């Protein structure tokens, strides 16, 4: 349980800050915070409203700007200097059961320009720890480094962590055998293993599921969003996959063997074919990993950047690393999608003559080798995949049909009416879902603490968010228990760490337990950093000028 200070009134906050030195800089401009619409993401929208309310008590003028997901994603990702703060989430992907992807890629300075570190956090001290944990093969020593990374982030607050949600899913147990549903550690039942093993009980053999957000891309070289990943994890194979127990296991590789602290050899599974009928070859595998670091796929580059060379000997592929890597199997072999060289090589060569990279390319018919084949995509409506019956782990279902349902209540109504039979996303009150299941009798609900998390991303490039003290104050101003209770109806765990309690071995409970919040705490941080109030408006310290007009 967190240690929280009792929140104080807005008037008391003004009195605390008014005691600060008289020298004041410019008033801080209106701060803008982005969120998705209430109908699509009610928990996120409500969280942002509560946060804005607490920030205003500090003397800030806060504007909440609602954007549809596609627009918000484009602004945040591609206009990295143009926003202040945004609601965001990291979803619970299987390969994130190893903390490296979050610890390194989300915060290392090398990924700030084009990669995952879209907030622009730069800390040489943090970089050193993030790099060290990648190389440390002694598990106990690596754990200490991962704990240290969480402590540094708690001190700097480059993001404002909110909660690790308890995701609630539901399915029609008259359509699918409940014994065939797989509850993956830190992920829940919406996962690849479930979509492969779901066994029909009758004539209905199509998995029909929902998403509130549109799919932006089905691109094996672009990590475009959580919902998109549901699709490309089924269409494309990887050398390894993270199993339901959170541990990596061979997938497209028949075997994975470490032959030294910097060399790993995989044997490619025999008989695999691309969806266009051509064989999957070791050369395709080598091409897939080399493309990831070619500069054409910046989001995937960190996952392959430690590879020194790749050698082929028959069906064996040997990866020689630059440095030892404790997480290589999970964070690289289980992360990078295998792509057909005969399809992508001419595309990559053509893109080299253009300004855009492979992330912006969309195949008319995505070609993978995975357990489901792409059939059709009706924008804003649905995506249809069909089972690849020749796959070595062929699905039990016939088709996987994703319906885009932006409204939470509509999604629940479609589940109850049978229009969908697997509720893959539900942003409403989980108790409503539980009550509906009890009333209907044909639905089963499963809830689990996610390894993913919801947070407020601060744009560290822009004043005043480039000041750690300001970020600490804004983060401390909000009692996470309020977010859990009011926005998530109790179905979440309060957070101050990027590592979920679902990953108990790597989770540093101390940074959560010792995190003090409340108005007094926030006001004291601002006072000590030199921020002052003039009337009810917060000013920069000293003679600092406001250099940014509101975007």
204: which 2 tokens? Answer: 């209905």
CA gap 188, 464 in Å, rounded: 38
The model's pLDDT over 282-328, given as tens digits with 9 standing for 90+, comes to 999 999 999 998 888 988 998 999 999 999 999 999 999 999 998 99
Q: C-alpha 293: how far from its chain's center? A: 21
- Residue 13 has a pLDDT of 52
Fold of 174-229+375-441: D-Maltodextrin-Binding Protein; domain 2 (3.40.190)
Residue labelled with tokens 């409506």? 381
In 148-246, at which residue ranges do the beta strands (DSSP E only) sit? 159-172, 206-211, 240-242
- Residue 429 has a pLDDT of 87
Residue by residue, DSSP assigns 23-77 as: -EEEEPPPEEEEE--TTT-HHHHHHHHHHHHHHHTTT--EEEEE--HHHHHHHHH
Query: CA-based diameter of the chain, in Å?
Result: 76
- Residue 389 has a pLDDT of 97
Residue 518 — left, alpha, or beta (φ > 0 → left; ψ -120 to 50 → alpha)?
left
CA gap 32, 63 in Å, rounded: 5
**Which superfamily does CATH assign the domain made up of 240-346 to?**
Dipeptide-binding Protein; Domain 1 (3.90.76.10)
Domain borders along the chain are 10-91+157-164+451-541, 174-229+375-441, 240-346
CATH 1.10.287 for domain 10-91+157-164+451-541, yes or no, is no
237: which 2 tokens? Answer: 């194979």
Query: What are the helix (H) ranges across 236-386?
Result: 282-292, 301-304, 328, 341-351
Q: Do domains 10-91+157-164+451-541 and 240-346 have the same CATH topology?
A: no
- CB distance 45 to 66 below 8 Å: yes
- Residue 287 has a pLDDT of 98
- CB distance 525 to 14 below 8 Å: no
Radius of gyration over every alpha carbon of the chain, rounded to an integer in angstroms: 24
- CB distance 449 to 500 below 8 Å: yes
- Residue 6 has a pLDDT of 33
Angle between the N-to-C axes of helices 10-18 and 519-528, in degrees from 0 to 180, rounded to the nearest 10:
20
Residue by residue, DSSP assigns 344-378 as: HHHHHHHHTTSSS-GGG---SS----SSEEEEEEE
67-89: burial string, b at 16+ Cβ within 10 Å, e else: bebeebbebbeeebeebbbbbbb
CA gap 541, 69 in Å, rounded: 35
CA gap 466, 482 in Å, rounded: 27
Dihedral sign for Cα 297, 241, 135, 256, please. negative
CA gap 271, 256 in Å, rounded: 18
Q: What is the pTM of this model?
A: 0.76
Query: What are the helix (H) ranges across 92-221?
Result: 100, 124-135, 139-156, 192-197
pLDDT in tens, the chain (551 residues): 332 233 334 444 544 454 444 578 999 999 999 999 999 899 999 999 999 999 999 999 999 999 999 999 999 999 999 999 999 999 888 888 899 989 999 999 999 998 899 999 999 999 999 999 998 988 899 999 999 999 999 999 999 999 999 989 999 999 999 999 999 989 999 999 999 999 999 999 999 999 998 898 999 999 888 899 999 999 999 999 999 988 899 999 999 999 999 999 999 999 999 999 999 999 999 999 999 988 889 889 989 999 999 999 999 999 999 999 989 999 999 999 999 999 999 999 999 888 889 998 999 999 999 999 999 999 999 999 999 999 999 999 999 999 999 999 999 999 999 999 999 999 888 999 999 999 999 999 999 999 999 999 999 999 999 999 999 999 999 999 999 999 999 999 999 999 999 998 999 999 999 999 999 999 999 999 999 999 899 999 998 999 985 54
CA gap 348, 219 in Å, rounded: 13
């Amino acid at each position: 349980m967190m240690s929280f200070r009792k929140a104080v009134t807005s008037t008391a906050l003004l009195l605390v800050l008014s005691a600060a030195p008289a020298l004041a800089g410019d008033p801080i401009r209106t701060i803008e915070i982005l969120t998705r619409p209430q109908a699509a993401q009610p928990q996120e929208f409500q969280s942002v409203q509560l946060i804005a309310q607490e920030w205003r008590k500090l003397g800030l003028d806060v504007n909440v700007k609602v954007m549809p997901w596609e627009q918000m994603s484009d602004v945040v990702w591609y206009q990295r200097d143009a926003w202040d703060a945004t609601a965001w989430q990291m979803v619970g992907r299987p390969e994130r059961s190893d903390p490296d992807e979050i610890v390194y890629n989300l915060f290392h300075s090398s990924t700030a320009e084009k990669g995952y570190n879209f907030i622009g956090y730069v800390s040489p001290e943090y970089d050193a720890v993030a790099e060290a944990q990648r190389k440390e093969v002694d598990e106990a020593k690596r754990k200490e480094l991962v704990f240290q990374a969480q402590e540094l982030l708690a001190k700097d607050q480059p993001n404002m962590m909110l909660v690790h949600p308890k995701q609630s899913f539901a399915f029609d147990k008259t359509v699918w055998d409940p014994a065939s549903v797989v509850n993956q550690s830190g992920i829940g039942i919406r996962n690849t293993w479930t979509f492969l093993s779901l066994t029909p009980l009758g004539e209905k053999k199509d998995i029909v599921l929902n998403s509130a957000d549109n799919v932006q891309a089905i691109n094996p070289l672009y990590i475009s969003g959580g919902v998109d990943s549901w699709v490309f994890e089924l269409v494309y194979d990887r050398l390894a996959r993270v199993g339901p127990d959170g541990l990596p296991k061979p997938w497209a590789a028949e075997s994975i063997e470490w032959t030294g602290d910097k060399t790993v050899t995989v044997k490619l599974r025999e008989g695999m074919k691309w969806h266009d009928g051509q064989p999957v070859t070791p050369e395709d595998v080598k091409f897939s990993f080399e493309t990831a670091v070619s500069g054409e796929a910046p989001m995937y580059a960190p996952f392959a950047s430690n590879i020194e060379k790749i050698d082929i000997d028959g069906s064996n592929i040997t990866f020689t690393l630059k440095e030892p890597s404790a997480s290589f199997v999970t964070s690289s072999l289980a992360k990078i999608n295998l792509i057909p060289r005969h399809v992508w090589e001419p595309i990559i060569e053509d893109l080299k003559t253009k300004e855009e990279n492979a992330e912006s390319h969309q195949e008319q018919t995505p070609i993978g080798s995975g357990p489901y084949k792409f059939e059709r995509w009706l924008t804003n409506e649905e995506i249809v995949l069909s089972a690849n019956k020749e796959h070595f782990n062929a699905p039990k279902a016939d088709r996987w049909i994703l319906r885009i349902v932006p409204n939470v209540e509509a999604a629940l109504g479609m589940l109850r009416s049978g229009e969908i039979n697997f509720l893959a996303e539900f942003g409403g009150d989980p108790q409503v879902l539980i009550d509906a299941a009890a009333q209907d009798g044909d639905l089963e609900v499963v809830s689990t603490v996610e390894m993913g998390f919801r947070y407020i991303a601060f744009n560290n490039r822009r004043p005043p968010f480039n000041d750690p003290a300001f970020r600490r104050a804004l983060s401390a101003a909000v009692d996470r228990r309020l977010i859990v209770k009011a926005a998530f109806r109790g179905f979440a765990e309060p957070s101050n760490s990027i590592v979920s309690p679902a990953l108990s071995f790597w989770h540093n409970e101390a940074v959560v337990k010792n995190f003090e919040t409340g108005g007094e705490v926030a006001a004291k941080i601002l006072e000590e950093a030199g921020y002052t109030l003039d009337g009810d408006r917060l000013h920069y310290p000293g003679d600092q000028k406001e250099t940014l007009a509101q975007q």
